[in-house]
Structure 1
Amino acid sequence: METARHRNTWHIHPDPEALARRLAAAVARMAREAITARGAFHLVVAGGTTPRAAYALLPQLGSDWQCWHLYHGDERCLPPQDPDRNSLMLDTVWLSRVPIPTRQIHHIPAERGADVAARDYAAVLPPHAFDLVLLGVGEDGHTASLFPGHDWGMAKNGPATIAVHDAAKAPPQRVSLSGWRLQYTREMFFMAAGGGKRSALTAWRQGEPIPAATVGTTADIWLDNTAWPEVVPGTI
């Protein structure tokens, strides 16, 4: 089921497993198209349980791994082997199983602290647009580490990365790509599963300025049935 509203497309699937399968297939397809057209695929990955299931399927679906370039939308300032690091999750379920060249896997060095890591990571981002940015949606509407009540870095002349010192969720120190840098992409996918995300997605569909909606002005939003909000009068 797909429902379009303004410049967003909503993809609703019966359960998280179906969502993961369809999402992984879409990422693999977009990689093939980018590599055919431009010789490389520049992908920004998201953390969390919803994309994790899709990442685990990619080794069976992807190809031309030497042409993939990976970046993170955000990272927690924790030691590299901490189980809450997005980079460790990605290595465990996906990257350890495919031959993407190490020099093309750009983990955020968040163990250096938010300020230093944000500065250093800005230097490794490509000067051109990403091919695809993957993002999640938090229960409070945050995306990457852009939280309500904070500066989301939407100004085009602002920095590409943000050092976060007082995140609403632990740990408080994080590094995030800024809102405008996340938007500098050919395609953008959001992912959400579970009833806990329904209130944030309802706010999005009602036009409230939550971080996810502000960043995702042109995006595909991939959901399971339990995350899909009730129809909001006047929004369809």
Structure 2
Amino acid sequence: MGVADAATLWQVAYRRILDAAACAIERRGRFLIVLAGGSTPRAIYRMLRAADTDWSHWQVYFGDERCLPADNAERNSRMATDAWLNHVPIPQHEVHTIPAELGASMAALAYAETLRGVGDFDLVLLGLGEDGHTASLFPDRDWGVAASAPDALAVFDAPKPPPQRVSLSAARLSRARVVLFLVDGESKRDVVARWRMGADIPARAIRPETGVDVLTESILFPAGVI
């Protein structure tokens, strides 16, 4: 779905998140959301501070994390906490951050244990890099596509700093009722076009049963599922 500008993208994404939450809480009594990092979702997270929802039923997970100290400003969890999570009454024990300060190997094992027994996510938010990466799944790396892949992967050679990261695997991210990619900026036009043409990029490895929804800003593609 293409929208006119970033402000519209934020508003549409905000509404999609709250609609998914309302549906999940009504049907299953809880809402399992996976958050994206990077700059694109920050404004959306700030909007969610004022949302009318029952926060006691939210369970928050993260798609990836940089292996930096827990209070580092470059951490995805720190961004989401400052922009949103510290301002709403989600139970603290239901915000499941990736302990990436432990290093990639230990953090991936710990987060896989956190996810043990957790069912399908209700909503997964993802971004898209100009190289086609999503979460911390980069080109020419292991994306964890196989059904036997661990839920969380240790990343040691990310092409963007820091090199050590933790990412949910493509297989785990695909276990979701809704996957919503948030893509802003003209710089993403080429990679979205390649994706639609079938290029083997990491984003293409995310394959939930219902397909993925792509919300784009200033990129005029027909609405629909890739």
Class of the TM-score when normalised by the shorter of the 2 chains: over 0.9
The two structures have a TM-score, normalised by structure 1, of 0.90
Kindly report which structure 2 residues correspond to 1:26-41, keeping only aligned pairs within 5 A, or say none: 26-41=16-31
Q: Give the C-alpha shift of residue 80 in structure 1.
A: 1.3
Query: Deviations along 1:97-144, whole A, 9 cap, x unmatched?
Result: 100000000000000000000000011114311111110000100000
Q: Give the C-alpha shift of residue 195 in structure 1.
A: 1.3
Structure 2 residue 149 is matched with structure 1 residue 158: yes
Greater share of strand residues, 1 or 2? 1
1:172 maps to a residue whose letter is: P
Partner of 1:172, secondary structure, is coil
Q: Give the C-alpha shift of residue 216 in structure 1.
A: 4.4
CA contact (8 A) 2:4 2:217 kept: yes
2:76 maps to a residue whose letter is: N
Q: Which residue of 1 aligns with 2:100?
A: 110
Q: Which residue of 1 aligns with 2:9?
A: 19
CA contact (8 A) 1:80 1:111 kept: yes
Q: Which residue of 2 aligns with 1:224?
A: 217
Q: Which residue of 1 aligns with 2:168?
A: 177
2:143 maps to a residue whose letter is: W
Separation in 2, partners of 1:183, 1:167 = 21
Q: Give the C-alpha shift of residue 200 in structure 1.
A: 1.0
Query: Deviations along 1:29-48, whole A, 9 cap, x unmatched?
Result: 11011001000000000001
Residue number among 64, 69, 72 corresponding to 2:59 in the alignment: 69
Q: Give the C-alpha shift of residue 87 in structure 1.
A: 0.5
Separation in 2, partners of 1:78, 1:15 = 33
Separation in 1, partners of 2:37, 2:50 = 20
In structure 2, relative to structure 1, the CA distance for the partners of 1:62 and 1:139 (3 Å cut) is farther
CA contact (8 A) 1:148 1:211 kept: yes
CA contact (8 A) 1:25 1:61 kept: no
Separation in 2, partners of 1:179, 1:148 = 13
CA contact (8 A) 1:132 1:185 kept: yes
1:133 maps to a residue whose letter is: V
CA contact (8 A) 2:34 2:123 kept: yes
Residue number among 77, 80, 90 corresponding to 1:87 in the alignment: 77
Aligned residues: 220
Q: Which runs of 5+ in 2 are unaligned?
A: none
The two structures have a TM-score, normalised by structure 2, of 0.94
Residue number among 112, 117, 122 corresponding to 1:122 in the alignment: 112
Off by >4 Å, runs of 4+ in structure 1:
none
Q: Which runs of 5+ in 1 are unaligned?
A: 1-10
Separation in 1, partners of 2:38, 2:186 = 15
Residue number among 122, 125, 136 corresponding to 2:127 in the alignment: 136
Q: Give the C-alpha shift of residue 198 in structure 1.
A: 1.3
CA contact (8 A) 1:201 1:228 kept: no
Superposition CA RMSD, Å: 1.4
2:27 maps to a residue whose letter is: A
